[in-house]
Amino acid sequence: MAKQTLSKPLINPTRFLDDIEEFVANSGHAPASTALRTELLTHFKAVYREARNKAEALLLDDGDGTLCAKRLSHLQDTLIETIYRFAAQHIYHNDNPSSGERLTIAAVGGYGRGTLAPGSDIDLLFILPFKQTPWCEQIVEYVLYFLWDMGYKVGHATRNIDECIRQAKADMTIRTSILEARYISGDVELFSELETRFQKEVVRRTAKQFIDAKLAERDLRHRKAGESRYLVEPNIKDGKGGLRDLHTLFWIGKYYYRVSRPRELVEAGL
């Protein structure tokens, strides 16, 4: 498991985190104060606007839409990780956490694939080791409200690992979501445990079941969107040969061959 990295990110994660630490130290406000949160929110919005403008300029220059989507995803990772670290270190700092006071933030959905179109929803999974604790609940709430106040549309779920496994077995949509989960921040061992258990307890020996379910979803989607690939106004997301069909192929390949990245499918001969 490796974090998403870019050779030329829109903002440097380490530098941005240091910038926020300096911002807090020089603010003159207590970390938990409303005044500091307001100033911090304004600062984050300004940084985001500047980074978005930079992404647009780079796209107009290089014409690489995929790279632009990766840049925006990496930008979002950096912002979320910084918000989480600020909350964990300054607002709800815990010198002696219990085994249950651990938390991982993961990206899921299209965001989990490491690409993000401008204006896309952000889908997050907050992973807990056991049942919810007040500390975990406060951190999750702080991160979500900060993102909402920045103007993002955030889809989210908070589950412990047992719940993730149980629901993934019962619900193919949740199974696909966890299949695409990507670590952003928090307890890395917790995320690794979810990955290991998911492969062992959910994926193992269930490839045919998953493939059949995904192909059935595809057929239903085509009936709704129009089965011909020659429509005058095709649905480029859900129609035949559209984006969701490409996703379906990747999901099936990833599930069957138990790989993490598209290039591993190429290495497998696909």
Query: For residue range 81-118, what is the model confidence (pLDDT) as tens digits?
Result: 999 999 999 999 988 888 899 999 999 988 999 999 98
Task: Determine whether 139 is exposed, middle or buried from the number of CB atoms within 10 Å of its CB (0-12, 13-18, 19+).
Answer: buried
pLDDT at residue 2 tops 70: no
Query: Which residue has 């995803």 as its token pair?
Result: 73
6 assigned to some structural domain? no
Q: Report the C-alpha gap between 145 and 67 in whole angstroms.
A: 29
Query: Which residues on adjacent β-strands are paired with residue 129?
Result: none
Res. 1 pLDDT band, cuts 50 70 90: low
Across the beta sheet with 182-186, the strand order is 154-160, 122-128, 104-107, 182-186
Same domain membership, residue 215 and residue 143: no
Instruction: State the chain's mean pLDDT as an integer.
Output: 93
**What is the percent of the chain where pLDDT is above 90?**
80
Looking at 203, 228, 252, the residue that finishes a domain is 203
Same domain membership, residue 214 and residue 177: no
Predicted structure pTM score:
0.93
97 assigned to some structural domain? yes
Structural domain harbouring 163: 13-203
